[in-house]
Amino acid sequence: MLTIQELKRRLSYFPRLNFSLLPTPCQRLRFVSEKYGVELYCKRDDLTGLAMGGNKSRKLEFLLAEAKERGCDALVACGGVQSNFCRMAASAASLAGMEMHLVLGGGTPKEARGNLLLDQMLGAKIHYVESSEWEDWESEALDLAARLESEGKKVFMMPVGGSVPIGILGYVEAFLEILEEGERLGIEFDHIVHASGSGGTQAGLVVGKELIGWPGRILGISVAMKKEKLEPHVLELASATAALLGGKVSKEAVKVDDRYVGEAYAIPTGRGNRAVELMARREGIILDRVYTGKAMAGLLDYLEQGMLPGGKILFIHTGGQPELFA
């Protein structure tokens, strides 16, 4: 077990670019807290500042520093046309003085809206792929990287969602920020709840919990994968990240609930949309429909059923609002 100071010291060995507004604020959700007789707070990672904010900016601080260390001058990332990650990677690359290439799948849209509008504004070079298959986007991105290398560029290939151990360090740090915030508020959280997609955010939180022996629970509400797939994936990512920091994680620390995905990834659900409306109307907070709305729907269902014992809960708002304007 490490002390908080020791974990901070180990994290400080990794190079990092500072382009986010940290620490992000923590806001008490008054209406929901009173309705369910709990203390519910929202950590506003949608306010990290980088090109409209979101969870990816924490990962990108470490990933771009790594790219710089390797002497890269071009960055290639792929995702859907409304990828939050691609939008934020485009911003991080431009701040780091790197050429940004985005391979965006699912066809060429007639009009640039939401994240795509921002990608263009940020100066990213956009390469559209007609296919809707992830494998095709990835192979197009690899071809592009090879072409750029042959033209003399040194390319940094962005991992999916930034979810590799170096990027995940950003969420180990976020976990320490949460503990500090709890101390400032005089509250010891029993649960942290958030949207889990490619698993990096959850892996980072789990590493923080395990390395310092935090007794609370972390619950990832899946927005895409089945629990049977996401739990081992998060465990693998968390184990690799913990190894970078000289520690280990246990299987029991990884908990995913996949009951709020609905039909599929990125297809809004009725209860997700109701959660978005409730948060907008009662708390003044705008969630998105792909990630945070579904995660909040899960959290509200847990509260309804009294499934969060202790009642001191932190929800992480991981961003994603540009999608609302797509």
Catalytic positions are: 83
Residue 47: CB minimum distance to ligand PLP, A: 12
Interface mask toward ligand PLP for 281-310; x: CB under 6 A = -------x--xx------------------
With binding defined as CB under 6 A, does residue 198 bind ligand PLP?
yes
Between 81 and 148, CB nearer to ligand PLP = 81
Decide whether 24 or 84 has the Cβ nearer to ligand PLP: 84
84 binds ligand PLP (CB under 6 A): yes
Residue 6: alpha-carbon gap to chain centroid: 25
Q: Which of 106, 197, 272, 293 binds ligand PLP (CB under 6 A)?
A: 197
Q: Using CA atoms, how far apart are residues 196 and 194, in angstroms rounded to an integer?
A: 6
CB of 230 to ligand PLP, least distance (A): 9
Check binding of 91 to ligand PLP (CB under 6 A): no
Strand partners, 74: 99, 155
Q: Which is nearer to ligand PLP, 278 or 290 (CB)?
A: 290
Give whichever of 7 and 222 is closer to ligand PLP, judged by the CB atom.
222
Say how many residues touch ligand PLP, by CB under 6 A.
Answer: 20
Closest Cα to residue 190, out of 284, 308, 98? 308
Query: Distance between CA 217 and CA 79 in Å, rounded?
Result: 31
CB of 319 to ligand PLP, least distance (A): 4
- By CB under 6 A, is residue 85 in contact with ligand PLP? yes
Residue listed under structure tokens 């485009």:
90
Q: Contact letters (x/-) for ligand PLP, 46-65, by CB under 6 A?
A: --------xx----------
Residue 78 pairs in a beta bridge with 103
Radius of gyration of the chain (CA): 19
Instruction: Return d(Cα 177, Cα 136) in angstroms, integer.
Output: 38
318 binds ligand PLP (CB under 6 A): yes
CA distance 72 to 229: 33
Q: Which is nearer to ligand PLP, 11 or 316 (CB)?
A: 316
Nearest residue to 165 (alpha-carbon basis) of 11, 293, 29, 1: 11
**Which residue's C-beta sits nearest to ligand PLP?**
320
Q: Which stretch binds ligand PLP (CB under 6 A): 27-35, 117-125, 144-152, 314-322?
A: 314-322
- If one counts every other C-beta atom within 10 angstroms of the C-beta of residue 141, the result is 23
Which one among 91, 196, 239, 241 touches ligand PLP, defined by CB under 6 A? 196
Question: What dihedral angle (degrees, nearest 10) is formed by the CA atoms of 135, 136, 139, 141?
Answer: -110
Q: How many CA atoms lie within 13 A of 308 on its CB side?
A: 27
Q: Does 222 bind ligand PLP (CB under 6 A)?
A: no
208 binds ligand PLP, rule: CB under 6 A: no
Q: How far apart are the first and last CA of the chain?
A: 45
Check residue 199 and report its DSSP letter: S
Binding site for ligand PLP (CB under 6 A): 54-55, 84-85, 161, 163, 195-202, 288, 291-292, 318-320
